[in-house]
């Protein structure tokens, strides 16, 4: 074994992995589907390496084991001190990445960029020669194909996360205090890693994915005009590499001689901004695209994205365009409802979702804000917006997670020095009531902020807010708008770690089965909050299925026993029309199995890694109230 791995080496590996992933990202539309799978795996590996660096601090050598405790192939007679426990894994990972880096240098070219920019700042993209002959390329050091490469990257990523689980969850002060226990755990992880790296095969390459390009996403486009929609094209594709304003943004993908000339008129403008529309049906708005024939800035609506492509479309088109436009706007000093700097941070807030509230202000008579025995009534409502934002930094992280709250904005036609705007923070657990006899909507325990122009002048924490509507029908329409947004916040909460949680374990698994659902490739997370409560989150690769369970208090203290999955569980499933159904199982599931013994063993290793720290931090979990029956569907009539 060579010299010890340094923090600098790990940082370099993380950057290399991210840089190589960019080569797969750029030009993905014309690339085989396998390229997107490898791209995702490289981003995951880069994140795992970055998390490993953060967990180690400044001293990788503090995580070490004795040479005698490692398999004989890793013994080094020239070293007096113990070998670093993860040197074998990092060395193999580094070898894979360096081989890929050579392929990028050999078979790629600089991506196009704006005139006059620095070529060193551009990312590389695969050449046409490689895209035509990718099946003949030796993607691994053992001359494996691209499916073998994906399998190896998957094993590296999962092994790193298992080691992370051991490091992070065993360290109370320093890891040396538990060295003997860690050595045994790391030996088990090594055995799993070595066997799975050896077993990496090309079984996935026999699928039809190799004949499919990642860019085969089509959708319907309509032009919004005079409160109506004009269908422009029922089968539209997006241009991936639009590198200048006024470039054609959308192309017709209709089969045969069908032509939709109006589609060619739609181009990017410097302020074209995409966002999702609120509601159960998945649709999006491209705000202020250029209609080249008239030089007008118009909005177009997008709908009918195939369910299996929704996540890819959101990530590769909507989010990327939103981030690019937001950065461009802020560089020009533009800050508005679409994008603006997040207060007191270097992050940017970009509009992610907007509910249709165009005529809602005309239906509200007045609003009452109450705290204790005090209340304030506001009338003269001139506008209402319901918005959800996502934040991003300088580097695109590929995640579509939004903020944990949505903003309900109410504007007033007020006199000078009076409050002109109220902002209410709507959360997934905000209590909302529809009172039929009074035609009122009541929001309880909600945080409110008052503004005069753009300056905050007051805030109410845990207020009771009552909206008096002109009729019960108006109240129902408003209630449905807010409920749809609240529901989206719930689904997000079930899909991602909360801000008060840390990720204790992250694994990528295949074929997760319960008595009601079978999930293919998925990401598995175990999170832990500040008081030691854990959640299990399993999200399918295409984000169509989400399983979320509050883990029983003995899940880790009884790690040697079969896991118990009878705790309260949420299940989210997307239907073929894009509508997400939410189910609640108060008694959980009788079983949760994995397709193969390798994945089951990996999950068990993760449980054992987490069990090392649960003696003092884990607390009993309060159960949710029991409901009648084993299943409760939250979507009436769905």
List, for residues 572-629, the tens digit of each pLDDT value: 999 988 899 999 999 999 888 888 788 888 888 887 777 765 544 433 333 333 333 3
pLDDT of residue 128: 79
pLDDT of residue 149: 87
Between 388 and 60, the more confident residue is 388
pLDDT band at 167 (very low <50, low <70, confident <90, very high): low
What single-letter DSSP state applies at residue 584? E
The CB density around residue 255, as the number of other CB atoms within 10 Å, is 6
- Burial bucket for residue 324 (CB in 10 Å: 0-12, 13-18, 19+): middle
Element (H, E) at 420: none
Q: Over 50: is that where the pLDDT of 502 sits?
A: yes
pLDDT digits (tens, 9 = 90+) for 95-142: 888 888 888 888 877 555 444 444 444 456 778 788 888 888 888 888
What is the spatial distance between Cα 12 and Cα 93, in angstroms, rounded to a whole number?
Answer: 12
- pTM of the predicted structure, to 2 decimals: 0.80
What is the predicted pLDDT for the residue at 66? 40
Architecture of the domain whose range is 501-633: Roll (2.30)
Predicted confidence band of residue 241 (pLDDT cuts 50, 70, 90): low
Task: Pick one of 2.60.40, 3.40.50, 2.30.29, 1.20.120 as the CATH number of 219-331.
Answer: 2.30.29
42: tokens are: 């490289």
Considering 171-185, 217-231, 300-314, 387-401, the range whose residues carry the highest mean pLDDT is 300-314
Q: Do domains 219-331 and 355-495 have the same CATH topology?
A: yes
Helix ranges (DSSP H) in 225-294: 261-264
Reported as a single tens digit per residue, the pLDDT across 407-447 is 999 999 876 668 899 999 999 999 999 999 999 999 999 99
Q: How confident is the model at residue 466 (pLDDT cuts 50, 70, 90)?
A: very high
What is the per-residue pLDDT for 624? 31
CATH architecture of the domain covering 355-495 = Roll (2.30)
Cα 141 from Cα 138, distance rounded (Å): 7
Confidence at residue 165, expressed as pLDDT on a 0 to 100 scale: 76
Question: Which one has a higher pLDDT value, 376 or 165?
Answer: 376
Instruction: Please report the pLDDT score of residue 164 as a whole number.
Output: 77
Over residues 160-169, mean pLDDT: 74
pLDDT in tens, 318-327: 998 999 999 9
Strands 569-574 and 580-585: antiparallel
What's the pLDDT score for residue 175? 42
Name the strand (E) or helix (H) holding 327.
helix 320-331
Share of the chain above pLDDT 70, in %: 75
Tokens 């070219």: give the residue. Answer: 109
3-state secondary structure 39-62: HHHHHHHHHHHHHHHHHHCCCHHH
Per residue in 63-77, pLDDT (tens digit) is 443 444 434 433 443
**Does residue 410 contact residue 424 with C-beta atoms inside 8 Å?**
yes
Mean pLDDT of 486-506: 91
State the pLDDT confidence band at 555, using cuts at 50, 70 and 90: confident
**Mean pLDDT score across all residues of the chain:** 79
Rounded to an integer, what distance in angstroms lies between the CA atom of residue 141 and that of residue 539? Answer: 32
Task: List all residues 6 or more positions away from 445 whose beta carbon is below 8 Å from its beta carbon.
Answer: 430, 431, 462, 463, 464
Residue 408 is predicted with a pLDDT of: 97
Q: What is the mean pLDDT of residues 499-515?
A: 87
Rg (CA), the chain: 27
Q: Where are the domains of the chain?
A: 7-211, 219-331, 355-495, 501-633
Residues 557-569 have a mean pLDDT of 79
Which residues fall within 8 angstroms of residue 122, CB to CB, at 6 or more apart? 110, 111, 112, 113
- Give the mean model confidence (pLDDT) for residues 556-580: 84
Query: What average pLDDT score do residues 451-465 get?
Result: 89
Question: 553: how many CB neighbours lie within 10 A of its CB?
Answer: 17
């Amino acid at each position: 074994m060579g010299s010890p791995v340094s923090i600098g080496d790990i940082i370099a590996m993380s950057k290399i992995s991210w840089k190589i992933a960019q080569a797969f990202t750029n030009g993905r539309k014309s690339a085989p589907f396998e390229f997107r799978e490898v791209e995702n795996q490289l981003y995951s590996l880069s994140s795992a390496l970055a998390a490993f660096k953060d967990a180690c601090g400044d001293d990788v050598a503090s995580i070490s084991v004795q040479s005698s405790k490692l398999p004989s192939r890793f013994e080094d007679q020239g070293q007096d001190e113990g070998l670093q426990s993860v040197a074998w894994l990092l060395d193999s990972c580094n070898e894979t990445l360096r081989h890929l880096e050579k392929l990028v240098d050999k078979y790629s070219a600089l991506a196009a960029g704006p005139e006059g920019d620095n070529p060193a700042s551009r990312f590389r993209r695969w050449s046409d020669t490689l895209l035509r002959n990718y099946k003949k390329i030796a993607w691994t050091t053992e001359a494996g194909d691209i499916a073998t490469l994906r399998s190896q990257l998957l094993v590296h990523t999962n092994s790193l996360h298992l080691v992370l689980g051991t490091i992070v969850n065993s360290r109370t002060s320093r890891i040396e205090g538990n060295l003997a226990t860690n050595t045994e755990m790391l030996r088990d992880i090594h055995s799993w890693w070595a066997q799975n790296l050896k077993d990496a095969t090309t079984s996935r390459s026999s699928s039809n994915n190799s004949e499919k390009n990642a860019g085969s996403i089509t959708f319907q486009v309509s032009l919004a005009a005079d409160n109506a929609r004009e269908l422009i094209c029922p089968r539209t594709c997006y241009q991936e590499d639009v590198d200048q304003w006024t470039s054609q943004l959308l192309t017709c993908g209709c089969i045969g001689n069908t032509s939709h000339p109006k589609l060619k008129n739609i181009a990017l403008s410097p302020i074209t901004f995409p966002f999702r529309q609120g509601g159960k049906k998945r649709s999006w708005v491209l705000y202020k695209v250029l209609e080249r024939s008239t030089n007008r800035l118009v909005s177009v609506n997008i709908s009918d994205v195939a369910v299996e492509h929704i996540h890819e479309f959101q990530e590769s088109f909507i989010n990327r365009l939103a981030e690019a436009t937001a950065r461009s706007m802020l560089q020009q000093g533009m800050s508005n409802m679409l994008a603006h700097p997040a207060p007191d941070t270097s992050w940017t807030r970009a509009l992610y979702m907007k509910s249709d509230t165009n005529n809602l202000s005309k239906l509200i008579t007045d609003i009452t804000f109450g705290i204790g025995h005090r209340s304030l009534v506001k009338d003269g409502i001139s506008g209402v917006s319901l918005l959800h934002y996502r934040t991003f930094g300088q580097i695109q992280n590929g995640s579509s997670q939004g903020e944990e709250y949505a903003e309900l904005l109410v504007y007033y036609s007020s006199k000078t020095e009076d409050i002109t705007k109220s902002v209410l923070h709507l959360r997934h657990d905000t209590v909302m009531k529809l009172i039929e006899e009074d035609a009122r909507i009541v929001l309880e325990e909600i945080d409110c902020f008052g503004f005069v122009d753009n300056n905050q002048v007051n805030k109410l924490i845990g207020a009771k807010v009552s909206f008096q509507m002109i009729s019960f029908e108006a109240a129902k329409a408003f209630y449905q708008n807010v409920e749809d947004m609240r529901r989206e916040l719930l689904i997000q909460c079930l899909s991602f770690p909360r801000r008060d949680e840390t990720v204790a374990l992250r694994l990528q698994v295949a074929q997760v089965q319960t008595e009601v659902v079978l999930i293919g490739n998925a990401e598995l997370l175990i999170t832990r909050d500040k008081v030691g409560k854990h959640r299990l989150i399993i999200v399918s690769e295409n984000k169509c299925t989400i399983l979320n369970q509050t883990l029983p208090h003995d899940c880790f203290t009884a790690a040697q026993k079969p896991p118990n999955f009878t705790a309260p569980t949420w299940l989210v499933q997307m239907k073929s029309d894009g509508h997400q159904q939410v189910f609640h199982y108060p008694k959980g599931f009788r079983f949760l199995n994995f397709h193969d013994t390798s994945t089951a063993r990996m999950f068990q290793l993760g449980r054992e890694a987490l069990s090392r720290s649960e003696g003092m931090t884990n607390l009993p979990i309060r159960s949710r109230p029991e409901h009648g029956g084993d299943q409760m569907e939250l979507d009436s009539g769905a």
